[in-house]
A and B are shown apart, each in its own frame.
Chain A
Amino acid sequence: MAELKATRFGYGEGLLILGEKNPNVVAIGLDITSSTTVNMFADKYPDRFISLGIAEQNGMGVAAGLSLVGKIPFVCTYGVFASGRCWEQIRTTICYNECNVKIGGGHGGISVGPDGATHQALEEIALMRVLPNMKVIVPCDAIETRKATVASAEIQGPVYIRFGREPIPIITDEKMPFIIGKANVLRKGKDITIIACGDMVSESLKAAAILEKENISAEIINLHTIKPIDEETIIKSAKKTGRVVTVEEHQIMGGMGSAVAEVLSENYPVFVTRVGIMDKFGESGKPDELLKEYGCTYEAVYKAVKKSMQKSK
């Protein structure tokens, strides 16, 4: 049984490492510092923690300004607010200015649970990937989130990292390489490619194990970086299997699945089945019942694979 750990802790741990490594790293708090685990950094480096309160638009602008005088600001709040409330500040003041700002969007997905629709971020991948100069990373577990956070400080320019609230299985390890823009093939297969990001990667691995018993060999790709997207790995896999299922805890419109479909339709058209939130807002409930209701489980992946297998290539 894999250890369960929320990806938000990976973010906080990553920030701590950066705090030690790089004196220019500063963190901006927008009132939800402990929930996003940024409090670990704030406690250790109080002089480098800037509390700006419930003011996301100002938060992004201040981050931009800090970056322009040599700081590397990490600004973090829940995904809905981080990507939505201040979208235009991110577009104009951060991206158009190519500011070295790293945005952490917590509480990604419907698995946020009881808080309900207003707090369940289902659109951030779409909102952020469309911005020039922005990089978008959706790590699959706490270890990868930590690596992604640290890696984001090593490159120039704006980065958006999506992570979640609920404990999810650890499926990577320290040895596994993490390179921004380079997808990881976690499981080789020949009948169908399943491309997943975030917590849906572990769900896909679960689905693959069940499919194996039915003699369906699924290749699993952890597409942690949605932008810049690893076209080579996606196309290579599609050429091998001829079928693709994408899965994300995100609206299917405009998210990771759409990004994959864009790559394949231009380079190697195959059937792409997108699994995710079907153009709906979420609601209150327990994480696992919501994931089930909204089709973001290994069962949904399994069903999508079976359906895809029925289509002739």
Chain B
Amino acid sequence: MTVTELEQKAKVVRADIIRMLCEAKSGHPGGSLSAADLMTALYFEKLKHKPKEPDWDGRDRVIFSKGHACPLLYACLAECGYFPITELLTLRKFGSRLQGHPGKNKGLPGIELSTGSLGQGLSAGVGMALGLKLDKKSNRVYVLMGDGEQQEGSIWEAAMSAAHYKLDNLCGIVDSNKLQIDGSVKEVMGIEPLAEKWRAFGWNVIEINGHNIQEIISAYDKAAKTCDKPSVIIAQTVKGKGVSFMENQAGWHGKAPNKEQADTALKELECK
């Protein structure tokens, strides 16, 4: 896809997020919207996968370690053709395959790991990357994390082990939107200097504007070309990106838009 096509696709994905959260009446818009460009570029341009064959052995793996951003995951999967787009409106409903945080056990195709408890996804990604390397396979593993999530010590255990095992088939992505629930990451528990920390842990660090599709694609390419070290893309993003009244607001971390707010958001995204 071209950059313009991907930008347009990202709008569609954002609109899906708004619609499904409005219908569900609960969920996490802020952190889903901030990573929308990162994941749209991944799912539609860079990821090796076959939506109609979700268990295809040759597929890359994607883990949403920041599992609360699952509206984004579900939107990407649906738009790729893993399951009907209409199913998005069942988010969080009793009996739905679209659980409030990604649930593998409900049978929704495309979910590699049930997540939601922050700080655990990277370790699983390390395990997958290690196993794939042991079998000399060329599949890649992508792990999407939050910046607040960097406060979890287990992230750093995983980071240490990935570098130790030279897992160049592993690519972490930090959606650095600067906000968490209690407020700004800086005030709650500062994580800076983040890039230096990852470098110190032996990773190749790629810093980008998380809303520039071209930069995002180049970053994935750079990561794929890096040998003997895992890569992490630290993406500067805006929480709630794409919906003016949600942008940079900690309050929109876990609050669903009502019908009126959703309509305004969809108008801004140029999708009805």
User: Is the Cβ of A58 less than 8 Å from the Cβ of B114?
Assistant: no
Given contacts A26-B134, A55-B160, A58-B154, contact A66 B128 (CB under 8 A): yes
Q: Please provide the chain A residues from 84 to 98 with a CB less than 8 Å away from any CB of chain B in the complex.
A: 88-89, 92-93, 96-98
How many whole Å from A283's CB to the nearest CB in chain B?
29
A69 and B138 alpha carbons, distance in the complex (Å): 13
Contacts across chains A and B counted by CB atoms under 8 Å: 105
A71 and B104 alpha carbons, distance in the complex (Å): 18
| B113 on interface, CB distance cutoff 8 Å | yes
How many whole Å from B267's CB to the nearest CB in chain A?
39
Q: In chain A, what residue has the closest Cβ to B129?
A: A65
User: Is the Cβ of B128 less than 8 Å from the Cβ of A68?
Assistant: yes
| B109 on interface, CB distance cutoff 8 Å | no
Number of interface residues of A (CB under 8 A): 29
User: Is the Cβ of B105 less than 8 Å from the Cβ of A70?
Assistant: no
Q: Please provide the chain A residues from 22 to 57 with a CB less than 8 Å away from any CB of chain B in the complex.
A: 26, 47-48, 50, 52-53, 55, 57
| B131 on interface, CB distance cutoff 8 Å | yes
Interface extent on B, as a size class?
Answer: 20 to 34
User: Is the Cβ of B120 less than 8 Å from the Cβ of A92?
Assistant: yes
Name B's interface SS. Answer: helix
User: Is the Cβ of A64 less than 8 Å from the Cβ of B127?
Assistant: yes
Given contacts A69-B132, A92-B116, contact A98 B124 (CB under 8 A): no
A62 and B132 alpha carbons, distance in the complex (Å): 12
B120 / chain A contacts, CB cutoff of 8 Å: 57, 61, 88-89, 92-93
Q: Could you give, for residues 147-166 of chain B, a 1 whenever the CB lies within 8 Å of some chain A CB and a 0 otherwise?
A: 00000011001101100010
User: Is the Cβ of A47 less than 8 Å from the Cβ of B134?
Assistant: yes
User: Is the Cβ of A62 less than 8 Å from the Cβ of B130?
Assistant: yes
User: Is the Cβ of B124 less than 8 Å from the Cβ of A92?
Assistant: no
User: Is the Cβ of A66 less than 8 Å from the Cβ of B127?
Assistant: yes
Q: Could you give, for residues 93-132 of chain B, a 1 whenever the CB lies within 8 Å of some chain A CB and a 0 otherwise?
A: 0000000000111000000111111011111111111111
User: Is the Cβ of A93 less than 8 Å from the Cβ of B113?
Assistant: yes
Q: In chain B, what residue has the closest Cβ to A51?
A: B164
User: Is the Cβ of B134 less than 8 Å from the Cβ of A71?
Assistant: yes
Q: In chain A, what residue has the closest Cβ to B124?
A: A65
A61 / chain B contacts, CB cutoff of 8 Å: 120-124, 126-127, 154, 158
| A60 on interface, CB distance cutoff 8 Å | yes
- Choose among B114, B121, B127, B153 the residue that contacts A63 (Cβ–Cβ < 8 A): B127
A52 and B165 alpha carbons, distance in the complex (Å): 10
B123 / chain A contacts, CB cutoff of 8 Å: 57-58, 60-62, 64-65, 89, 93
A-B contact sample (14 more), CB < 8 A, given A65-B130, A66-B128 = A57-B157, A58-B161, A61-B120, A61-B126, A61-B154, A61-B158, A62-B126, A65-B129, A66-B127, A70-B131, A73-B127, A88-B117, A88-B120, A97-B114
Chain B interface residues (CB < 8 Å from chain A): 61, 103-105, 112-117, 119-132, 134-135, 153-154, 157-158, 160-161, 165
In the complex, 26 of the A-B residue pairs with CB atoms within 8 angstroms, ordered by the A residue number, are A50-B130, A52-B161, A55-B157, A57-B123, A58-B154, A58-B160, A58-B161, A61-B123, A61-B127, A62-B124, A62-B126, A65-B124, A66-B127, A67-B127, A68-B128, A69-B127, A71-B131, A71-B134, A88-B117, A88-B120, A89-B154, A92-B115, A92-B120, A93-B123, A96-B105, A97-B114
Chain A interface residues (CB < 8 Å from chain B): 26, 47-48, 50, 52-53, 55, 57-58, 60-71, 73, 88-89, 92-93, 96-98
